Amino acid sequence: MCNRYRMTEAQIALAARYGIEAPFPPDHTIPPPELFPDKPVYVVRQEGGTRALDIMRWGFPRKVPGKRIDKGTGKPVLLDTKVTNVRNYTSPFWKSALANPERRCLVPFTSFSEYGPGPTGKRPLFWFDVPSRPIVSFAGVWRPIDGGGAVFAFLTTDPNPLVAPIHPKAMPVLLDEEDEERWLTCSFDDAVVLAKPYPSQLMSARSEAAQ
């Protein structure tokens, strides 16, 4: 599960990369370069054929049963959580966003991280990037939330041979640049086809100590 990534490029580079014109949000609300769940992040969405650079928080809010039991109802107390990654594409929780092209987005990043195997507290952290592409896009979905603002999450898929030895469960869906427009406009079935492992030969990995 990817819950940490980097965006080290400036706002003007994002605007140029995605063909976005001013006005767009100011830089001072974004905490570069390390990005974590529930933090404000730049996201690219499309509306009326025009791309916009928006600020959204990372993670769809969701209530899950906790361990404590409510004495009045006899049921577990519900806890507020943030769901940051999308793996079950046909789940009702996600499909309503995935099936609507207007609820899909591009999540720009320069590198993402995964913890490798090891004892708790001593697991090595690895960073992955695409050396030939300074800015890459995760395949994301978003939705508005009560009280204003919006949240996003991005899709994960089976890990490629580079990621699998470090994180065998999943890796984020990275889009080829030529597939970004398709992601923002295509049908649900075509969107699912794009949710595939990125070629490992085009990526690199480094441990935190080697940064």
pLDDT computed for residue 10 by the predictor: 83
Strands 104-109, 111-115: pairing is unpaired
The type of residue at 183 is: W
In CATH, which superfamily holds the domain spanning 5-210? SOS response associated peptidase-like (3.90.1680.10)
pLDDT computed for residue 210 by the predictor: 46
Q: How far apart are the first and last CA of the chain?
A: 21
| Cut 0.85: pTM above it | yes
pLDDT computed for residue 137 by the predictor: 98
Q: Where are the domains of the chain?
A: 5-210
Cα gap 63→79, rounded to integer Å = 5
Residues 6+ apart with CB under 8 A from 41: 7, 30, 35, 55, 56, 57, 58, 107, 152
Q: What are phi and psi of 134, to 5 degrees?
A: -60, -35
pLDDT computed for residue 174 by the predictor: 99
pLDDT along the chain (211 residues), means of 10: 87 91 65 84 91 92 72 70 90 91 97 87 90 97 91 97 95 98 97 97 86 43
Counting every residue, how long is the chain?
211
Q: If DSSP codes are grouped into helix, strand and coil, which group holds residue 210?
A: helix
pLDDT computed for residue 107 by the predictor: 98
